[in-house]
Amino acid sequence: MVTLDDILSKVEAETKISKDELGERIKKKQSDLSGLVSLDGAAYLVAKELGVNLLNNEKRKIELRNILPGMRNVSAAGRLFKISRIVDFTKSNGADGRVVNIFVGDNTGFVRLPLWNDQVKIVEDEIIKNGDVVQISGAFANENIYGDVELSLGKYGRLFNITDEIAGSDIEFPTIDELSKAFLGPQTNRILIKNLAPGSFETRATIIDLMRGKFLFNTCPECGGKAEEASDNKFECKKHGEVKAKPAMVVSFIVDDGTGVLRVVAFRDVAEHVTTTTASKLSKLDLDERYELLSGSLVGKEYIIHGRVKKNTQFERLEMIADRVKNLNISEESEKLADLLKMKLG
Ligand SMILES: [Zn+2]
């Protein structure tokens, strides 16, 4: 592990500012931050202000899946992809306590890291934010009651935002959406339609209307991409030239969750899954028959729909491209409720 003296030596060598003077600046920095950071942490900040990048030497040491309960002095890096609500509580001795949980992930796994009391300010003052790449060092690992690995900073651990410090560090890690999907499952991002914004969300809503259309479009059998009709019954893929078109499904419908309505589009397997039919079956029916069949199976039913919400600039409204649709199943929903309760209570 890098010691304070190592930091001072490196900064002194690169800036020609004496260790004594650096020591003063570091103490001032620490008191400016009302003791929020350790001396080492303040030294990092001062070094950064002086343009000395210390973090390259102390880059992530371990992939997150390899962190095991019992490990000490853990150094790791990842993207912060979830911050829980800050909880204020009263300790048994009557003192006030605060805690917030942050979730950090990489390609291999994730860890939960609780921040206690003064540490909460790091989140509250947005020194680190959702989506930032953070470096954790000097932490220790234990197992929480859910069997997940949890890291604690303790007295000597440190947490830094390195988003801007290491060129390219930002793209080494999956996005917030990818991490949430991989590690938090559909529990995340459930939202009421009235609160929707562009991004990745899940809604629980009833299909109230189905848009009329062909419900089929032509795709390239090689790559699944769109195949345009070049001339009568001749189709072309941009990559594969002339191809024999294969029909794929698309459905567009309106859902209502009681707070608002939203237009949702589902393509290919997602469309087949939600309608419980297939493109090839549909292709044997005429347009009215298709509409009858599909509206009969969809309208009035409730679903959990996950997808990417985008602004349709032409109509100035939000629309969702569905990537997962589940027929609402009572037992599944109550399981989720139980999980949610467990999370809140735990
Ligand atoms: Zn193709």
The pLDDT, as a whole number, for residue 334 is 53
Ligand 1 mean position to 224 CA, how many Å? 6
pLDDT tens digits, the chain, 346 residues: what are they? 457 787 888 888 878 888 899 999 988 888 887 766 777 778 877 887 777 766 554 445 678 888 888 888 888 889 999 998 888 887 778 888 888 889 999 888 889 999 988 899 999 988 899 999 998 988 999 877 656 678 998 877 888 888 756 555 556 788 898 888 877 765 557 888 988 888 888 898 888 889 999 999 999 888 888 898 888 888 999 888 899 989 999 999 999 988 889 999 999 999 999 999 999 999 999 999 999 999 988 888 889 899 999 988 887 889 999 998 987 754 455 555 556 656 655 4
Of 95, 149, 98, nearest to 123 by C-alpha is 98
Sign of CA dihedral 158, 163, 164, 168: positive
Instruction: Report strand pairing: 96-105 vs 133-143.
Output: unpaired
Residue 211 near residue 253, CB atoms below 8 Å: yes
Q: Which stretches does DSSP call E strand in the chain?
A: 74-83, 87-90, 96-105, 110-116, 133-143, 149-152, 158-161, 199-210, 216-219, 227-231, 234-237, 241-243, 246-256, 261-267, 302-312, 317-327
Ligand 1 mean position to 193 CA, how many Å? 36
Ligand 1 mean position to 225 CA, how many Å? 6
* Domains with residue ranges and CATH for the chain: 4-55 (no CATH), 59-182 (2.40.50.140), 185-345 (2.40.50.140)
Beta bridge partners of 248: 217
Ligand 1 mean position to 116 CA, how many Å? 54
Residue 114 near residue 101, CB atoms below 8 Å: yes
Ligand 1 mean position to 240 CA, how many Å? 5
The pLDDT, as a whole number, for residue 38 is 73
Residues measured by CB to lie within 5 Å of ligand 1, the ion: 220, 222-223, 225, 237, 239-240
Ligand 1 mean position to 175 CA, how many Å? 28
Ligand 1 mean position to 237 CA, how many Å? 5
Q: In whole angstroms, give the CA distance from residue 255 to residue 259.
A: 11
Cβ neighbours, 10 Å, residue 97? 14
Ligand 1 mean position to 214 CA, how many Å? 22
The pLDDT, as a whole number, for residue 188 is 53
Ligand 1 mean position to 256 CA, how many Å? 36
Q: In whole angstroms, give the CA distance from residue 195 to residue 180.
A: 19
Ligand 1 mean position to 234 CA, how many Å? 14
The pLDDT, as a whole number, for residue 338 is 59
Instruction: Report strand pairing: 74-83 vs 133-143.
Output: antiparallel
The pLDDT, as a whole number, for residue 330 is 46
User: Which residue matches tokens 């001795």?
Assistant: 93
Q: pTM higher than 0.85 for the full model?
A: no
Ligand 1 mean position to 270 CA, how many Å? 20
Ligand 1 mean position to 241 CA, how many Å? 7
Ligand 1 mean position to 211 CA, how many Å? 28
Ligand 1 mean position to 293 CA, how many Å? 30
